[in-house]
Structure 1
């Protein structure tokens, strides 16, 4: 499996690590932690040195209690950071976590390489059309409703079957819009109960039917710390365990706060495959 980032072919036969860099004051784990240019650069440099293949930037928190943010405010947060990072690290592949077509376009024009959409086009009907025109890889996530309503929409006839049906329809729509590189994110924590999250992980390999790369984003999420009765700050060990399982089940990209530990999991599993 490969994706094309800014004219470079990225081979996903060896799983890749996507570091998270939030440009928000209210994300569930690191919101507000990075507020200055030097802080953004320092964290990006740390992740790159630890082995991040991509860095994912988000300016609009998707946690249920997050405040509304206008397109203008989202773009105003994102573009200066994109400019800053690419000026310092010109070969960096930036992914932009947004569900808005205008934000996606402005970000790619500024130099971003990937669009990461939690809504798979459902929250902005122009998103897939714009991504197709931009000719960048597109991460489409499974979610129901929106971040404010998703946790009330957790009733499924058959969890995996229903999510596969969702992806089948969204992939067809993306192909109509001439999106070449599609990455699937099952959406751990989005419109899913704690038991459903673990069922999804247990059956992750069933999404191989699409023959598309799978991204797993479980880093420090509540499915870990609520189960273990701890907190996001104490959820690194659980995150590493689940990332290792995800890799064993075929995940091609891990989206993480802690790059070093994810890279170590990947490298250890490589040795077991010899």
Structure 2
């Protein structure tokens, strides 16, 4: 009697628990992530791209050849747009890289244009991401193409460093507060003091100063230059105008650092 009772308890209560545990384990096994696979396929795509470029070495690039380069990468990694990643940050970077490839394909005609800033911008952003993948996700390619990857990573570091410098300088010029120092016969002079709080020694800063009316409409644009201001030093910045205005906006046009 007792034996039958325990068998019944097992069948009614315990067996379903084993079944549920088994299902849970099965579901856990199905939760696969694509982090490592993406990095490996990214390497395959780059190698495929460079295999094509090696075959075309010495020949002029055409629109179709450029598309083939890009498609060689996309064929390997485009599928990861909808893949599941354990590292959500890596997922964002993967999708961004894929979208940059698509953008480069859409803007391929800019590569052959005299003004190819858009293409250069996409190239630089790709280089920054590839640097990130190498430094933080152990992206590796075969020895045949290592020098090409090294060149891209080096470019990425340069772009990132320049972007950091430009960000610092843009923050710096936002500190400029111009005040009227002279007003003679309708001719006005405005001056501000710039203190170089950046870690960079400034050779030249070229500034565009838009003078705006109360509605934000540009009345005129004046220009100012800052020269030879080392870290921690101060310099006077000024511009002249005959126009009346309510506010101004200062934009960094270009710069040189020592």
TM-score between the two structures when normalised by the length of structure 2 = 0.26
Using CA pairs below 8 Å that are at least 6 residues apart, which structure has the higher relative contact order? 1
TM-score between the two structures when normalised by the length of structure 1 = 0.25
Q: Which has the higher helix share?
A: 2
Q: Which has the higher strand share?
A: 2
Structure having the higher Rg: 2
